[in-house]
């Protein structure tokens, strides 16, 4: 990478997916007799066919290699298995634990059963197995658990604000605020370039390349605008073209580990007793938009680029209080308002119309105050100046003398 050029998406991958790591796991398993060479030949042939026919990524290829290495915990050598061994292997994984000693989650078990079925159907097709295909087809995975996040894990607006306050740089403040308000997946922000960001009179617009859904998304930012604008001003390169919007302190493209460590540091500084991942911001934003009553179709377009998506329910983490609000509202019962709302509202100056960050006391452009306390402070300072002109003159003289010394 040219040291004078801004980092681009081509300089470094967001996820570390070096084939050498997968190859090491294969060599280690062969050495420890956890794999046979025939096992390796079989699953590499299967993976190569997937690469040719479906264009799977290197990341996916590595995951498949790890999968086939680990699945030998539950099965004899792949070519030797009959349907009874497949049944036993599936039963074993349902009660097994991962390398951390924890039971496999339902979605992991579901993915594994689907993949092992697919592998053996491929073996049958290629004459490598004589397992009855009908028997294999009857095997059912447990299904997908769409509720992988609980309502308790969702970040509240005050917690998001605390994370932003805990940031030590304009880049971090922009990253956290945009990650939340845009509802983007972290990989999408890591790939975001300045030519996909447009500033206008009402905030900013991001055009997100949604590689997961193979579409583009139009995302409007308002609350995050001041943070993003400040970061653009501080950006160490020319913020345009293919230059990545978010980079590391060493001016390198972001990687997943960098973001994970940042979130860990911020949660500690903010005093939050939660395990915070980048993806929980997406869940939180969608849940808040639902609670605020935003049109479901608009949410789907913003977050998936598709009004027919079936992912909406997966991201809706409404609580009993949301049900209370709706039911009691139908009866005209007004509840006592809580301090914490579901919206981080930016403040638009009534004088110059500049959009300021939530809880700003003064306008960042014209200095107009936004609170009675701030107004009182200004009045007190003005009164002090008027009542003590000689003190003001002394201060001015000190400043003038200091300026003269600096110019010598």
pLDDT in tens, 115-124: 999 999 999 9
Minimum mean pLDDT among 4-13, 46-55, 161-170: which range? 4-13
pLDDT digits (tens, 9 = 90+) for 269-313: 999 998 899 999 999 999 898 888 888 888 888 898 888 887 777
pLDDT at 319: 56
Q: What string of DSSP letters covers 183-248?
A: ---HHHHHH-BGGGEEEETTEEEEEEEETTTTEEEEEEESTTHHHHHHHHHH-SS---TT-BSSB-
How do beta strands 197-200 and 215-221 pair?
A: unpaired
pLDDT tier for residue 1 given thresholds of 50, 70 and 90: very low
- Contact of 214 with 207, CB cutoff 8 Å: no
Range among 85-99, 232-246, 291-305, 375-389 rated most confident: 232-246
Q: By C-alpha distance, which of 213, 217, 190, 215 is closest to 205?
A: 217
Which SS3 state, helix, strand or coil, does residue 77 take? coil
User: Is residue 231 pLDDT above 80, yes or no?
Assistant: yes
pLDDT at 224: 93
pLDDT digits (tens, 9 = 90+) for 327-368: 666 666 666 655 555 567 788 887 787 888 787 777 877 777
- The secondary structure of residue 253, as a DSSP letter, is B
| CA–CA dist 149, 152 (Å, integer) | 8
Average of per-residue pLDDT values in the chain: 85
Minimum mean pLDDT among 6-20, 97-111, 206-220, 393-407: which range? 6-20
Q: Which two tokens stand for residue 194?
A: 């300045």
| CA–CA dist 195, 245 (Å, integer) | 9
Give the C-alpha distances (Å, rounded to integers) separating 10 from 1, 7, 161, 191.
9, 8, 33, 10
pLDDT digits (tens, 9 = 90+) for 125-159: 999 999 999 999 999 988 877 666 777 788 999 99
Q: By C-alpha distance, which of 103, 102, 104, 73 is closest to 89?
A: 73
pLDDT digits (tens, 9 = 90+) for 278-289: 999 999 999 898
Give the C-alpha distances (Å, rounded to integers) separating 172 from 168, 281, 305.
7, 14, 27
pLDDT at 72: 93
């Amino acid at each position: 990478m040219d040291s004078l050029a801004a980092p681009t998406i081509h300089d470094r991958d967001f996820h570390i997916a070096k084939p050498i790591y997968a190859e090491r796991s294969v060599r280690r398993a062969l050495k420890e007799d956890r794999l046979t060479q025939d096992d390796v030949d079989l699953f590499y042939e299967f993976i190569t066919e997937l690469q040719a026919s479906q264009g799977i990524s290197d990341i996916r290829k590595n995951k498949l290699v790890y999968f086939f290495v680990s699945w030998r915990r539950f099965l004899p050598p792949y070519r030797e298995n009959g349907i009874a061994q497949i049944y036993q292997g599936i039963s074993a994984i349902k009660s097994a634990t991962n390398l951390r000693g924890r039971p496999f989650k339902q979605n992991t078990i579901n993915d594994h059963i689907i993949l092992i079925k697919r592998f053996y159907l491929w073996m049958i097709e290629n004459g490598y197995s004589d397992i009855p295909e009908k028997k294999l087809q009857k095997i059912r995975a447990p299904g997908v658990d769409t509720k992988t996040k609980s309502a308790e894990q969702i970040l509240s607006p005050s917690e998001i604000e605390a994370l932003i306050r805990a940031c030590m740089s304009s880049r971090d403040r922009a990253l956290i605020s945009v990650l939340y308000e845009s509802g983007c997946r972290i990989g999408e922000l890591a790939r975001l370039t300045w030519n996909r960001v447009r500033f206008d009179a009402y905030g900013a617009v991001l055009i997100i390349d949604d590689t997961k859904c193979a579409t583009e998304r139009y995302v409007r930012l308002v609350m995050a605008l001041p943070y993003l604008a400040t970061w653009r001003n501080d950006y160490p390169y020319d913020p345009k073209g293919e230059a990545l919007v978010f980079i590391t302190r060493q001016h390198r493209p972001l990687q997943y580990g960098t973001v994970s460590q940042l979130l860990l540091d911020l949660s500690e500084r903010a005093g939050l007793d939660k395990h915070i991942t980048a993806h929980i911001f997406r869940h939180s934003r969608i849940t808040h938009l639902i609670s605020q009553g935003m049109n479901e179709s608009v949410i789907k377009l913003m977050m998936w680029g598709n009004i027919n998506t079936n992912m909406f329910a997966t991201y809706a983490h409404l609580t009993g209080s949301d049900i209370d609000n709706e039911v009691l509202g139908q009866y005209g019962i007004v509840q006592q308002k809580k301090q914490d709302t579901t919206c981080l509202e930016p403040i638009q100056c009534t004088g110059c119309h500049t959009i300021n960050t939530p809880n700003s006391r003064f306008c960042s452009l014209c200095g107009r105050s936004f609170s009675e306390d701030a107004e009182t402070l200004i009045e007190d300072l003005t009164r002090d100046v008027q009542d003590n002109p000689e003190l003001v003159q002394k201060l001015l003289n000190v400043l003038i003398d200091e300026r003269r010394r600096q110019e010598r």
